[in-house]
Structure 1
Amino acid sequence: MTATLFDLTFLLAAPFWALMIFVPKWSWTQRIAESYLIILPVVAIYVALMIPTLPELIPLVTRPELPALAEFMSTDVGATLVWAHMLAWDLFVGRWMYLEGRRLNIHPLVMAPVLVITILLAPVGLPLFLIVRKVCDATNRGAAVVTGQ
């Protein structure tokens, strides 16, 4: 069952990423991304896995030690729990980045690679977006980054 939840976690997040990357200007993409609810399916999987492991998990997060955390994450449940945590947080951050990009009118050809990097390597994608955002916000002409207008 844990393997199924692992797979399902990605399948629940991927459609939202696809909308933000491939059809960012579609009116339904904006409506869907404006809802915080898009992360709830992934969060539900996290909670379903977390509740039975709370006695083991609480000491790991309140007094983290590398060997104990590594041992927990090497289990199917531990890896799936961390995966769900990562995907929920990445989608939440990616959603914010998408909405900010739309607000600043950052060209989709700039935002798409930033969002892809965020899916794959969120700790790199976020600062990259913050740089893009700063440049576009400073000029208040996000489209100028690509179009030169």
Structure 2
Amino acid sequence: MSFYSDALLKDVLTRTKVIAVVGVSMNPVRPSYYVARYLGLKGYKVIPVNPGHAGERLFGQVIYPDLASIPPEIPVDMVDIFRRSDHVPPIVDEALANLPSLRTIWMQIGVENQDAANMAESAGVTVVQNRCPKIEYQRLFGELRMGGFATGIISSRL
């Protein structure tokens, strides 16, 4: 797993307001669905992107077929990618060409593409690979503790 400082991740999650989720699913048991839903519940505006469901609605938002179809008045500042690693370069190309407010490319757990990361970083965009913003948000803002995780207490009691 790539190393990112907690300060960098916290900065990204604090400054971000609008997230386009590429590869979002309509199926509530899929990670892309519940991550997008969670981010929406945390106050982010989530813009769903999935060509198979274009024009439908998810979380109160229209689903777009691709990043280029998102209207320019929607200031997407982060793209969260739920696609295979080999599909990432054209997504990053499209994001760089069509999203003037773009500040972060975030690739989900298991998704890494160094060529795409280099391209985005060369354009001044922050890149996070092989991480989940939901998990990082919970970890950095103390929510894992609420579920009994990361409490620092070791116990074998039932």
Same fold (TM over 0.5): no
Higher fraction of helix: 1
Larger Rg: 1
Which has the higher relative contact order, 1 or 2, with Cα contacts under 8 A spaced 6 or more apart?
Answer: 1
Higher fraction of strand: 2
Alignment TM-score, normalising by the size of structure 1: 0.27
